[in-house]
Amino acid sequence: MEFVLEAPDDSASSRKQGPRSSSAFRKAKLDVKQPELVPFQSILDFLEPGDPTFWLLDLQGELLLSLFPETTRYGGYEYDPRMLFTLWLFGLWCGASSSRQLETMTRRDVRFIALSGGLHPDHATLCRFRRSLGDSMDGLLKHSVDLAAKAGMVGFRRGHVDGHRLPGNVSQWRKLREQAEAEDSKDEKSDDSIGRGKDPDARTIKTKKGFVKGFNALALADEESGIVLSARVSNSSSDSAQLEPVLERCIEIHGELPDSIAADKGFDTPRNAYAMELLGVESFIPAHVPSVFTLGREGRLVCPAGHEPNRLEVSTVKGVPVLKRLVTICKGCPHWESCLRNGEDEKKAGKASKPRKEPANPPRYSRSVRTPLDVPVEPWLAMHARAKSEDGKQARKKRSCTVERVFAHTKSRLEFTRFSLRGLALVDLEWTLEMVAHNLWRVRNAASNALFAWLRRFLGPCFDEDRRRQALSPCLARRSAQPVLAA
């Protein structure tokens, strides 16, 4: 039996006859075996208009060689550090944080081939280049903030600080396994020993989902655009001790600080309030534990009844001299019950105790406030009062769309959920590089949105979002970044 395949008939009569006996496909526009007939003039013609590759190519030409270390010669000849940096940057945008993934991309992905100029740096070269950026990350972060400032995105009016805990490049189940073995053999083993699969700088840190073995990544973000001004990594789970280092790094990078700083109650300490007052920064940090003391007239410390502390005690807490201020004339005070409910020694799990009746013979009751011996208490209470004001409430509400959005964008869009390098210095480098990628992502989006707004303004009804691929050409897409980079 012989089968004959007939050419499909596109006439109207044939379409009415039901299903065809053979399949018909669209004819290919090019023959891959004949490269001279390929209807493209450049490799960039393979990209869609508005592709981020065009913006990164323009960024390659704008970057200065002085931003990168001089020791970048690997493999017998020197790669352009600007090319290697844009490869890492675009890789982070695509969720590829491995040097082996980047090596594969430079051979298979036309966007990475365009960024690398047809070169194929191996994974060892890419890995060593990233490790060599330790002393250059502050300059790259400053450059990203400068680009955002030229685009009108950063005003240094108010900054938001917060920490984000991420696991390190270490086995998260190792501690539980060793604890079980220690219970069986009654031989405690160290979890911080240097070995394969271990990071000596990683610490057990508490998160909302439990405990992880990792680091605490902090960021100072601008309120207007969410651009990260300063970033730092610590292996301490406490946020309060990391506020001053983050602000110091911001001064080292930019030479200035935002006019005001807002943070959550995890950063509430007398020393932080005093440090920001010395720096001339207005602080908005709510009280971690509400105090019954306030600042009365002439800035004096008073209790709800208007009494000043009549007794001072000096003690040592964790090796730090602490000054305790007390009011001991509480017997018979009409504010005794309210002080008892709001007092810090009646707090349990962060909740106030239930109201209770005053006994016939109330016990001797004292109210106190403690600060380090060399830190005054007035800036601390003034900061709590500002946090309760309307301006302070608005500042706290905007945290969800600034620094919290930075962490959400880093985890969801950049797919950065754990550190891949080991050691506190390299982990700090990796986190700062992620923040640079976040900043340049925001700058690039602002440039694209500005171009589309310009087209809508001048073309009016003729501009159609669905047909913008036909309205834009690769050259016009490349010019979209020029007002930002050359501003």
The pLDDT mean for the chain works out to 78
C-alpha 118/C-alpha 127 separation (Å) is: 19
List the structure tokens of 16: 């009415």
pLDDT tens-digit series, residues 437-447: 999 999 998 87
Q: Which of 386, 384, 388 is nearest to 269 (CA)?
A: 384
Asked if 78 and 225 sit in the same domain, the reply is no
Asked if 227 and 95 sit in the same domain, the reply is no
**Domain membership flag for residue 250:** yes
Using the 3D structure, point to which of 132, 156, 186 is the last residue of a domain.
Answer: 132
Asked if 190 and 274 sit in the same domain, the reply is yes
Using the 3D structure, point to which of 106, 132, 158 is the last residue of a domain.
Answer: 132
Do 20 and 8 touch, CB atoms closer than 8 A? yes
Asked if 169 and 276 sit in the same domain, the reply is yes
| Residues 6 or more apart whose Cβ sits within 8 Å of residue 168 | 199, 201, 202, 213, 214, 215, 418, 419, 422, 427
Asked if 309 and 411 sit in the same domain, the reply is no
Number of structural domains found in the chain: 3
Q: What is the DSSP letter of 51?
A: -
C-alpha 352/C-alpha 346 separation (Å) is: 7
Do 314 and 323 touch, CB atoms closer than 8 A? yes
C-alpha 294/C-alpha 228 separation (Å) is: 34
**Which range among 3-7, 43-47, 60-64, 391-395 shows the weakest confidence by mean pLDDT?**
3-7
**Domain membership flag for residue 318:** yes
C-alpha 376/C-alpha 296 separation (Å) is: 15
SS (H, E, C) 146-206: HHHHHCCCCCCCEEEEEEEEEECCCCCCHHHHHHHHHHHHCCCCCCCCCCCCCCCCCEEEE
Residue 106 predicted with pLDDT over 90 = yes
Do 399 and 226 touch, CB atoms closer than 8 A? no
Residue 35 predicted with pLDDT over 80 = no
**Domain membership flag for residue 33:** no
- What would you report as the CA-atom Rg of the chain, rounded to the nearest whole angstrom? 31
Could you tell me the pLDDT band of residue 353, with boundaries at 50, 70 and 90? very low
C-alpha 453/C-alpha 55 separation (Å) is: 17
| Residues 6 or more apart whose Cβ sits within 8 Å of residue 434 | 92, 410, 414, 416
**Domain membership flag for residue 366:** yes
Give the residue with greater pLDDT, 329 vs 457: 329
pLDDT tens-digit series, residues 236-272: 888 888 999 999 999 999 999 999 999 998 899 999 9
Do 147 and 485 touch, CB atoms closer than 8 A? yes
Residue 50 predicted with pLDDT over 90 = no
Asked if 119 and 184 sit in the same domain, the reply is no
Query: Average of pLDDT values for 416-436?
Result: 94
pLDDT tens-digit series, residues 149-187: 988 888 899 999 999 999 988 876 655 556 655 655 544
Do 204 and 213 touch, CB atoms closer than 8 A? yes
Do 47 and 474 touch, CB atoms closer than 8 A? yes
Asked if 192 and 259 sit in the same domain, the reply is yes
**Domain membership flag for residue 267:** yes
Q: How many residues does the chain have?
A: 487
Asked if 184 and 263 sit in the same domain, the reply is yes
CATH of the domain at 233: 3.30.420.10
pLDDT tens-digit series, residues 55-76: 999 999 889 888 988 765 444 4
Asked if 189 and 274 sit in the same domain, the reply is yes
**What is the pLDDT, as a whole number, of residue 155?**
85
Give how far Cα 305 sits from Cα of 50, 310, 327, 336, Å: 66, 13, 10, 9
| Domain span holding position 335 | 294-374
Asked if 175 and 279 sit in the same domain, the reply is yes
**Domain membership flag for residue 367:** yes
**Domain membership flag for residue 469:** no
Could you tell me the pLDDT band of residue 456, with boundaries at 50, 70 and 90? low
Asked if 410 and 284 sit in the same domain, the reply is yes
Asked if 276 and 319 sit in the same domain, the reply is no
Q: What is the value of pTM for the model shown?
A: 0.77
**Domain membership flag for residue 471:** no
